[in-house]
Structure 1
Amino acid sequence: MKKILLVDDNEHDRMLYKRYLGKQIGHERLEIVEATSGEEGIALFRRERPDCVLLDHNLLDTDGLTLLQDLKQFTPVDTLCVVMITGGGSEELAVRALNTGALDYLVKQRFDQELLCKTVMHAIEKNEWRQYVARYHGQLQTVNQQLRESLEELTEARQQVQLTNARLLAANQEVEARNKELARTNRDLDNFVYAASHDLKQPINNLRGLFDELRRSATFDDPEEAEVLRLVDDSLRDLTTTVTDLSAVVQVDRAPGEQDTEPVALADLTADVLQTLRPQLLDAQGTVRTEFEVLPEVVAVRTSLRTVLLNLLANAVKYRHPERPPQIWVRSRLVEGQAVVEVQDNGLGIDLERDGAELFHLFRRFHPEAGEGTGVGLFLVNRLVQAQGGHIAVESELGVGTTFRIFLNQPA
């Protein structure tokens, strides 16, 4: 549940905004608290810690820009989520509001319920997103520090090896080969440190490649050096997964126009996905049964439907019950003009009463003990299905399993 603080001294406007925001937005429920003055707004902000503040610029005891500056005293700037509401369409005021720290602004009498809801949810998501990126930027800085410390140790080791090589070069070909490997490894590490010094926009994949080469070619006599490298390797793997998932989400949000749909044979598509997941299924001793006789083909965006099935089937394997191998069913049928593709498992299950409202939210994980993940998969699945005009229904019972039903509109 998200909490909204509404600061406006106009009772009519407050009632209108509450009515607009009164209904549940998607899977999100909103709780609204009201303040009729700047002083009351500050008190409620400090007490309630809302997820977003709807702030009227024209207040009796202050103005929105001044109050926005005051709010910065009680929370870090990069966690403050404020949408400014102005009585006129002044671009100068809008720019000042954004420069002061507001995430967005609206002009009275120029927005409806849909625009207000979208603006508020976009501001909340943007605020959560920047906090998430900031945390990972901090992790990247930690990785950089670890690399610098590792390089200092490796530099000392290289100097010792070079001194030994100078004495034994003529008689010891094995030492010469080792020296060349160390020199090449150090060059790779130098390149890696340069790339890792950049932020998340830098080529993370290049870092991955350098560490794969390091792991393949280098031998470490000191167990502590190898352990440091392993820790860095794990951190980069987590960061790479996160950046890849976030990039996928951005691609969905920024896809130009509607993608072309086509008839998709579900048996062929599922076989393709299962081939990709074959190592995980073999490792988990899992089985997948398909039932496509009733509806063997659906009209959909093939790449999007493949991503949806890949994520759902991968989750069914990842979040399997520890006491039994995973059993997964993939079925299809037609319900009132909509194609329904169903993925059912016998895994850990989800407490829908507790977590159902946040099931498709970004960065939400419900079984962190079961395996690594970023909490992006179900968010992406939901966005892809919604982009095709469909929706997802979920049934689940803890300890028994989960069923995802994907509803897709079909041409008449």
Structure 2
Amino acid sequence: MKKILLVDDNEQDRMLYKRYLTKQTGYESVEIHESSSGEDAIRQYRTLRPDCVLLDYNLPDTTGLEVLVGIKQFFPAETMCIIMITGGGSEMLAVRALNEGALDYLVKQQFDQELLLKTVKHAIEKNEWRQYEARYHAELQGVNQQLRDSLAELTEIRRELAEKNAQLTTAHHQEKSHNQELDTINQRLARTNADLDNFVYAASHDLRQPIHNLRGLFEELRRTATFHDPEEAHLLQLVDESLQSLSSTITDLAHVVQVEQLPGEQPPEMVDIAEMVADIVQTLLPQIVAAEATVQTNFTALPAVEYVRSNLRTILLNLLTNSIKYRDPNRAPLIEVRSLLVQGQPVLEVQDNGLGLNLERYGAELFQLFRRFHPQAGEGTGVGLFLVNRLVHGEGGRIEVESQDGAGTTFRLYLRAPGGQ
């Protein structure tokens, strides 16, 4: 549920915005709150912490800019989602509002329902993305500090070993061999230090490549290094696991960004469903064999569908992966993939007998970013269903879900009919 606060002393304007927002926002439900003064708006913001605020510039007791300043006294500007509404359309006022922390602005009498909905939805998603990015950036900084601490400890070990090797004159051959190994480690540590400096500098611009570089360096270090203190090796293992988890999250985030930036008009083509599913099954074969899963298909009613091939593959791959990942440990997984034609509209179904979930409790959050409902069942970041939902709706389709806790789940994808809008 999204909470939206309307701040405007004009009751008719508030009624208009409320009517616009309650018709369709793209979210399961919207909770509207209203305020007619700046003082009350600040009080309600502190109490409600709304997902978005529509803030009129002209208020009876103050201005919208003063309300922005007042809210920033209690909350950081980067956590606020506020859209300024002005009556005059002054560019200078718009710039001041954005500088004070507003995410966007609208001019009265110059926007309709569609523009208002798009502006609100974009502002909420931008603010949520900003929070996710800040959280993972903080996590990245924590991992980076762990790496620096580990490197400092390893450097100290190298120094102590070098001092001891200087005293072992009776074992010259062993000393030489050991020193060569230490020199190699020292070079790797020097390269790692340089990589870390570049990593910190570029983290806000490109997160994936530095993570991959560090994982590769630590795999090689773990393979070749000798640790006399078991705690050092254990610490290195913990760091490596943290990098793997963060790398998976960043990769999934990159996929989300890629989907968001896809061109609006990609050419569809006739896709043989059986051929595509067979290719996906082959890709997932190690997981299918390990889980002792069975995949059954039936595409008699609709052998092929007109769709963007890469999008359809991503949709089906994520659904089949989820069916395997969230299987019930007490029974062999059974996954059924079917195609149908319902009143001229192509439909794909992916059904499993896995863990399922309580739709009354979690249905509204099912396709939200970073939401997971069975964290004990394998690794994941909660991005797969978000991608599936965006891709299906982006092509003009919709998704129906049937699920019961402990009794499996069915995803029914209503794809856009050929030539449909």
CA displacement at 1:26 relative to structure 2? 2.6
Q: What are the superposed Cα offsets for residues 332-369 of structure 1, whole Å, 9 maximum, x if unpaired?
A: 11112221111111111121111111211122222222
Aligned to 2:393: 386
CA displacement at 1:188 relative to structure 2? 4.5
| Residue 217 (1) aligns with residue 224 (2) | yes
CA distance in 2 between partners of 1:160 and 1:47 (Å): 58
Matched residue pairs, number?
412
Conserved 8 A contact 1:196-1:207: no
* Worse overlay, 66-75 or 166-175: 166-175
The AA in structure 2 aligned to 1:190 is N
Conserved 8 A contact 2:402-2:410: yes
Conserved 8 A contact 1:52-1:120: yes
CA distance in 1 between partners of 2:117 and 2:388 (Å): 22
Conserved 8 A contact 2:26-2:121: no
CA distance in 2 between partners of 1:257 and 1:127 (Å): 23
Conserved 8 A contact 2:84-2:105: yes
CA distance in 1 between partners of 2:38 and 2:187 (Å): 63
Alpha carbons of structure 1 residues 188 and 328: separation in structure 2 relative to 1, 3 Å: farther
The AA in structure 2 aligned to 1:309 is L
The AA in structure 2 aligned to 1:313 is L
The AA in structure 1 aligned to 2:182 is N
- CA-based RMSD of the aligned residues comes to 1.9
Q: What are the superposed Cα offsets for residues 41-86 of structure 1, whole Å, 9 maximum, x if unpaired?
A: 1222222221111100011110000111001122222211111111
Conserved 8 A contact 1:181-1:217: no
CA distance in 2 between partners of 1:215 and 1:331 (Å): 46
Task: Describe the SS at the equivalent of 2:415.
Answer: strand
CA displacement at 1:170 relative to structure 2? 4.3
Q: How does 1:151-190 map to 2 (within 5 A)?
A: 151-166=151-166, 167=168, 170-172=172-174, 174-175=177-178, 178-190=181-193
Alpha carbons of structure 1 residues 238 and 109: separation in structure 2 relative to 1, 3 Å: same
Show structure 1 runs of 5+ residues with no match. none
Conserved 8 A contact 1:192-1:210: no
* Worse overlay, 98-107 or 346-355: 346-355
* Worse overlay, 3-12 or 235-244: 235-244
CA displacement at 1:174 relative to structure 2? 4.9
Q: How does 1:246-395 map to 2 (within 5 A)?
A: 246-395=253-402
Aligned to 2:21: 21
CA distance in 2 between partners of 1:356 and 1:269 (Å): 29
CA displacement at 1:156 relative to structure 2? 1.5
Aligned to 2:91: 91
The AA in structure 1 aligned to 2:276 is L
Higher RCO (C-alpha under 8 Å, 6+ residues apart) = 1
The AA in structure 1 aligned to 2:217 is L
CA distance in 2 between partners of 1:189 and 1:78 (Å): 33
Task: Describe the SS at the equivalent of 2:73.
Answer: helix
Aligned to 2:38: 38
TM-score, length of structure 1 as denominator length: 0.95
CA distance in 2 between partners of 1:215 and 1:300 (Å): 46
The AA in structure 1 aligned to 2:383 is V
Conserved 8 A contact 2:274-2:299: yes
Show structure 2 runs of 5+ residues with no match. none
CA distance in 1 between partners of 2:195 and 2:21 (Å): 49
Equivalent residue for 1:197, pick from 181, 194, 200 = 200
CA distance in 1 between partners of 2:105 and 2:247 (Å): 34
TM-score, length of structure 2 as denominator length: 0.93
Alpha carbons of structure 1 residues 76 and 331: separation in structure 2 relative to 1, 3 Å: same
CA distance in 2 between partners of 1:220 and 1:190 (Å): 20
CA distance in 2 between partners of 1:100 and 1:139 (Å): 28
Q: Percent identity?
A: 61
